[in-house]
A and B are shown apart, each in its own frame.
Chain A
Amino acid sequence: MSEGFKLEIVNPEKSFLSKEMVSEVVVPAFEGDMGILKDHISIISFLKPGLLRVIESGSNEETYYVEDGIIEFKDNCLSILTSNIFDIKKVDKNIVSEALSKAEKDIQNSNISDQNKYLLDQKIEVLKSLNLN
């Protein structure tokens, strides 16, 4: 019996990542981080800005930054649809700071909804932590 499940990350332009065997994925779901293991119950949820951790069987781990998206887990296949994702190891620092300053500007805007504010807060926090490393 295998110990993993299938992971697919797609963004509108292309299929971003596809892995046959991952043992755990931690997704920044809207109501809190969620770890998904094999044989998880079918679930649909959506994401807030945060870090997506993909842990493979050989215990090597990859971390991605996602801005939004939807996840669907079904029959041991996890699909993540997101429009904005990048690998934190390969990303250009300038892009991060740019996104950060944009988010900081957006949050100053007083007529955004509470939900958007919450999302922006999250985004700033995560981007800041990325910038430090």
Chain B
Amino acid sequence: MPSLDDLKKRITSVKSTQKITKAMKMVAAAKLRKAQENAEKGRPYSEKMNNIILNLSRSITDKDNAPKLLSGTGNEKIYLCVVLTADRGLCGGFNTNIVKKAKSFFETIKSEGKSFKIITVGSKGYDQLKRIYGDQIIEKISFKDSKKINYPDAEIVGKKIIELFEKNEFDVCTIFYNQFKNVITQIPQEQQIIPLKSSETKENSEIDNYEFEPDEDEILSNLLPKNISTQIFKAMLENSASEQGSRMTAMDNATRNAGELVDKLTINYNRSRQAAITKELIEIISGAESL
């Protein structure tokens, strides 16, 4: 049975933790709104980019000579996995979910007898992966210093990927990130960016006749690297919105739990206090009786 003093100390400590989590929730809520806005603002760019690439790849007649970024290297032996996580913790299952998704992907690749390499973006992902997959991590990138998600950062990652691709270091590139659905739900996603998945190219209904200047191939080879950066940027934006959303929910829960704990501890405290008073009374009464 903890003493009254201990209980009192615990109550104060839980209360101050509650204050912190509450403040973090508020901050996350404010940041979330901004992040969400940014994610929405960034959408037109990636959508348009996708559209143009779709149109371009449709009009390419010589499929065999298409840029490798579009068609792939022909093998599927080495995978490059880019795991995008946050730089900070205390955001619920946000980082763990991405890592979990990535891990299960790694295991499938392993069981198929293929090899893989990992690039981590964000320090939390690196921390969680380095123990098991330390040998496979070839690069860790962190943007702890930049306050806001910006495009040049994404370009750095994109350029690195392309550099590796040109050196034939890998055949397929997949990125992992959390897609923001709403404040409570974030869906961990895997998205293949090299070679470009052509699942959307099915609808042949409206083929536009474009004029290209210079020719298609040149535009494509100029555009595809940009598209990689754009996709990464999009993933980073989604990620940052998800992170804040996840943190907000996690901190909301923590605040509520702390409240419950305080209530429980207060009842305990009052009970012990009452018990102590009763004990003292009994001592006094029995002392008086024995006289």
Interface residues of A (CB under 8 A from B): 8, 10-15, 29-31, 34, 41-46, 70, 72, 74, 79, 81, 83
Contacts and interface: CB of A to CB of B under 8 A. Distances in A.
Given A15-B44, A79-B48, A81-B45, A43 B151 contact: no
Contacts of A15: 41, 44
Contacts of A29: 213
Contacts of A41: 211
Contact of B45 (A11, A31, A46): A11
Contacts of A44: 52, 55-56, 210-213, 219
B42 A13 contact: yes
A29 B233 CA distance: 25
Interface string B23-55: 000000000000000100110111011011001
Interface in B128-161: 150-151, 154-155
B223 interface: yes
B56 A12 contact: no
Contacts of B48: 10, 72, 79, 81
B208 interface: yes
By secondary structure, the A interface counts as strand
Given A12-B45, A70-B223, A43 B211 contact: yes
B205 interface: no
Given A12-B230, A46-B223, A81-B48, A30 B151 contact: no
A14 B42 CA distance: 5
Contact of B150 (A8, A13, A42): A13
A10 B45 contact: yes
Given A44-B56, A44-B219, A74 B208 contact: yes
Nearest to A79: B48
A105 B245 CA distance: 43
A43 B212 contact: yes
B213 A45 contact: yes
B52 A11 contact: no
Contacts of B113: none
The 9 closest A-B pairs by CB, nearest first: A14-B41, A12-B151, A45-B213, A43-B211, A10-B45, A42-B210, A10-B44, A12-B45, A44-B210
Contacts of A81: 45, 48-49, 52
A43 B215 CA distance: 11
Contacts of A30: 213-214
B209 A42 contact: yes
B33 to A, nearest CB: 15
A8 B48 CA distance: 11
Contacts of B56: 44
Contacts of B219: 44-46, 70
A42 B213 contact: no
Contacts of A34: 213
A76 to B, nearest CB: 13
A12 B233 contact: yes
Contacts of B151: 11-13, 83
Contacts of B154: 12
B92 to A, nearest CB: 27
A74 B210 CA distance: 8
B222 A13 contact: no
B172 to A, nearest CB: 25
Nearest to B49: A81
A30 B221 CA distance: 14
